[in-house]
Amino acid sequence: MKISSTALSASCLVVTLVGTTPALAAPVVPAAAAVSPDAAPSASHGGHDQGNHGPGHSGARLRVATYNASLNRGTQGQLLKDLSTRDNQQARNIAEVIQTNAPDVVLVNEFDYVPGGGAARAFRDNYLGLSQRGEAAQKYPYYYTAPVNTGVPSGLDLDQNGTVGGAGDAWGFGQFPGQYGMVIFSKYPIAQDQVRTFQNFRWQDMPGNQMPTSFYTPEQQRKLRLSSKSHWDVPVRVGKQTVHVLAAHPTPPSFDGPEDRNGRRNHDEIRFWADYVSSPPRARYIYDDAGSRGGLTPGERFVILGDYNSDPHDGDSFQEGINQLLDSPRVRDPRPASTGAVEAAALQGGANRTHRSDPKYDTGDFSDNPAPGNLRTDYVLPSKNLQACRSAVHWPRLGEPGSELTGTDPFPTSDHRLVWLDVRVPGGQ
């Protein structure tokens, strides 16, 4: 495995697990490749390769990663067409970045949803599962993908332009259903019958929400969904232990007007997870797409993954933004970093010169003149009852191995960087 020398690693943090007793390690046996009736009706669950029992002997170390790969396309069906071959250059580059970092579980944002999981399987089999320029192929027997709100017609004039229809009137901005979707690839089994999705949760049902009620009509307020894509709780089985992968991709806090509807929605999409992992009283308002209520059971282990489109100090975030998670008493911030991001901020200048955040934590390479500059938008945030070890942002310095894949605009991969974290799962061998 080749990791860029610019990846800054955090020393392993020794954490005392209060009120937990690690279970004895057990062999990892692939679950049946069937769609669970408790999951989203159109969700696609990855099968398994016969005889592949996952990382079994890798101990309790689990590497989790998030990557906004920009594998979205402008027309429905184009991504599946691109991935059905083995020669799409962007897909090869994205796969190489993932292979270089070799995560056990990776969330890929901006990956168009295709019913039945065809695009997910094509990327896994034609790209991740084949060596790219000498990197070790990565085998992911399990995957999870499901419908998202982007591009799904609402039948309402949500952008208030006087007509109904188009990307701005979808439940989440998109040209077609599934654009900018998500997929999770895993080397460990996914507890398919325990997945919870929150695609249909209504924004108005969050107490104290930040919805700009003066902008939306009463009917729109009643019907508008909170998630611009979706929120997923995907339990991953590591031996006898479970780690909940909490995945989302909140809307960018921009592309709106003085009402700041996207900034406010971004804020509340982030708040959703902060409430979900908090105390039962605070999370009792939450309901999933199957009708079950409440948040995550106290004491459960989790990792929050995704592009949250919010920097702790810079950019257009509304009020607390991502700090609702970074300041949560149940969440640990390992602060992954790179020296490539520091170099990029210095070379590009512009808005980066006035930023308050340390550029070594940046994960996105955005327009610098006039704004917003490079930002920290992509997160891997473990629960405090997981032992957090090394972490990094994959952003090599110019001239270092892999820098040709991060590049500059037009990017050969994405304007976001892969972010990874190693955690220790007690009894999770």
pLDDT single digits (tens) 134-187: 999 999 999 999 999 999 999 999 999 999 999 999 999 999 999 999 999 999
Q: Where are the alpha helices (DSSP H) in 19-158?
A: 78-83, 89-101, 118-123
Please report, for residues 55, 190, 275, the alpha-carbon distance to residue 386 in angstroms, rounded to integers and kept in the order given: 19, 19, 19
| Of the candidates 403, 372, 364, 408, the residue with the CA atom closest to the CA atom of residue 110 | 364
Going by DSSP bridges, is the β-strand pair 378-382/44-45 parallel, antiparallel, or unpaired? unpaired
Can you read off the two tokens belonging to residue 151? 């591009």
User: Tell me, what's the pLDDT at 6?
Assistant: 38
Per-residue exposure over 196-233, b if at least 16 CB sit within 10 Å of its own CB, e if not: bbbbbbebbebeebbbbeebbeeebbebbbbbbbbbbb
Reference 378, options 329, 338, 428, 423; nearest CA is: 338
- pLDDT at position 130 over 50: yes
Give the mean pLDDT of the chain: 89
Instruction: Tally Cβ neighbours within 10 Å of residue 258.
Output: 7
Specify the range with the lowest mean pLDDT, choosing from 28-42, 221-235, 329-343: 28-42
Cis bond upstream, residue 141 (ω within 30): no
In this model, does residue 31 exceed pLDDT 70?
A: no
SS3 78: helix
pLDDT, mean of residues 303-312: 98
pLDDT tens-digit profile of 245-296?
999 999 999 999 999 999 999 999 999 999 999 999 999 999 999 999 999 9
The pLDDT of residue 126: 98
What percent of the chain clears pLDDT 70, i.e. is strictly above it?
86
Instruction: Note whether 351 and 368 are within 8 A (CB).
Output: yes
Confidence (pLDDT) at 177: 98
Closest CA to 171 of 208, 144, 200: 200
What are 92's two structure tokens? 């090869």
For residue 3, pLDDT beyond 70: no
User: Does an H or E element contain 219, and which?
Assistant: helix 218-223
Contact yes or no for 195/287 (Cβ under 8 A): no
Q: With cut-offs at 50, 70 and 90, classify the pLDDT of residue 429.
A: low
Identify the pLDDT of residue 52. 36
Q: Which of 169, 149, 146, 166 is CA-nearest to residue 158?
A: 169
Q: Is the pTM of this model over 0.75?
A: yes
Instruction: Compute the distance between CA of residue 6 and CA of residue 341 in angstroms, rounded to an integer.
Output: 10
Strand locations in 193-252 (E):
196-197, 231-238, 241-248
pLDDT number for residue 9: 40
Q: Where are the alpha helices (DSSP H) in 323-398?
A: 323-326, 339-348
More confident residue, 39 or 404: 404
Give the residue extent of every domain in the chain.
7-424
Q: 232 and 182 in contact (C-beta within 8 Å)?
A: yes
Q: State how far the Cα of 65 lies from the Cα of 62, in Å rounded to an integer.
A: 10
Between 30 and 415, the higher pLDDT residue: 415
Q: What's the pLDDT tens digit per position in 52-108?
A: 334 443 447 999 999 999 999 999 999 999 999 999 999 999 999 999 999 999 999
User: Domain spanning 7-424 has what CATH number?
Assistant: 3.60.10.10
